[in-house]
Amino acid sequence: MRKLFSILYLIALALFLSACHEDQMFASLNQTIDNHLEHRADTYQEQVDFFNNLAIDIIQSAVAVYRHASTGLATGSGVIFAVDETHYYALTNNHVVYVEEGVSHYFRVHDYLGNIYSAELVAQDHLYDLAVVRFEKNESRPPLRLISMTTDNAVLDERIAIIGYPASQINAITMGKVKGYQRIMLSDTPPEVVDITFDVMAMDAPVKGGSSGSLVVNEAFELTGILYAGSRTSRVGNVMTSYAVPIEKVLEFLAKHGFEVSS
């Protein structure tokens, strides 16, 4: 009996010491986290402020673009870059709005609040995979924001953010960095739709399928590119490397098609 009591005592002591050890480990971990947060407080606050600016301000420039055609529905994203007395003008991808000749179709734009507008195509170019749609202003609705544009391409490791409407998701925001510039080939898109031969901006910001036309902004919240492609590790996974038409080519496209844009 004494032997049994001794064994039970030793088990109870071991459990007690183990619990004390776990409490000490938990307390130590809490202290480590607190120290880390205190040391990096300014950095984390800056990241929170960056995201809040995107979510509250820049997102007002983003729109969803819908191409309704007898051959099917295509969806993508866009960004408002210009306005006149009667219309807003939004950039998107050519492959989002492309329709073969003779196919009946129409376009619609949804703003960040979900308001719907009829739209028309006013410019497109397969050499840039860019297009411009315009839609009428509605004085009964809140005014929409115009995106500011930089004039120089983003540099390596510069922080960027992508805002768009992937797969009908509303106001999606992802962040990452510029990983370089390279020429890529699209295996599933004919050249009359997309025929880009210049180097495009590669980023590590993950995006979902259907994000084409999403705006890409730099740390100064200026447009630095238009998302147009991505590569994924599996057919059902998120895009892990995203590619954008860089801002210098965006401005080249706009100038070519007669749009004047102030930076």
Structural tokens at position 186: 């699209």
Instruction: Yes or no: say if 128 and 251 are a contact pair by the CB < 8 Å rule.
Output: no
10 Å Cβ neighbour count for 140? 6
Domain regions of the chain by residue span: 59-136, 148-256
Tell me which fold the domain 148-256 belongs to.
Thrombin, subunit H (2.40.10)
What are the tens digits of pLDDT across the range 4-17? 445 544 555 455 54
pTM: 0.81
The answer to whether domain 59-136 and domain 148-256 are alike in fold is yes
CATH code of 59-136, in short, is 2.40.10.10
Residue matched to tokens 């800056």: 46
Q: What percent of the chain has a predicted confidence (pLDDT) above 70?
A: 79
Lowest-confidence pick of 27-41, 48-62, 187-201, 212-226: 27-41
